[in-house]
Homo-oligomer: A and B are copies of this chain.
Amino acid sequence: MVTLTFETERKTQLLDITASVREAIARETGSVAVVFIPHTTAGIVLQASGATATGVAPDVEGALERLVDETWDWQHRDEGDRNPWAHVRAALTASSVAIPLEDGDAALGDFQTIFLCEFDGPRRRRVLVSVV
């Protein structure tokens, strides 16, 4: 298992972690990589990036903020820094993704990018990569 660390910079942010995950995978041997996030206000999503996918990451950020509205009547807000919407947004993404390996590398699609989804940043976040 490899532990990766990232610093997010915004409250809601899809951060491309593909290169770091691929480096972690290259250190291990097996046929499937598990990418896992040990946090409850952040998630993992595979989505598009690159020249032909401009705007996709901001659109996913904006859509999750819009879907889970901060003005709803929340219970988890009895202290100043509570963030119930961040937990729900994270619950709508994934805590883990399992990616098959081909020739020792993640068999991602052409535009597929591994994103850490921050919903309560900026923060330091960990991601665990385990190859089986």
| Chain A positions near chain B (C-beta within 8 angstroms) | 1, 30-32, 34, 36, 38-41, 45-48, 53-56, 58-60, 62-64, 66-68, 72-78, 82, 84, 87-88, 90-102, 107-109, 111-112, 126, 128-130, 132
List, in ascending order, chain B residues with CB within 8 A of A88's CB.
59-60, 63-64
- If A53-B76, A55-B76 are given as contacts, then 18 extra A-B residue pairs at C-beta distance below 8 Å, sorted by A number, are A1-B107, A32-B34, A40-B47, A40-B56, A40-B109, A40-B112, A46-B95, A47-B90, A48-B87, A54-B78, A55-B77, A55-B82, A56-B76, A60-B88, A67-B67, A91-B93, A101-B130, A132-B132
- Report whether A55 and B75 are in contact in the complex, using a CB–CB cutoff of 8 Å: yes
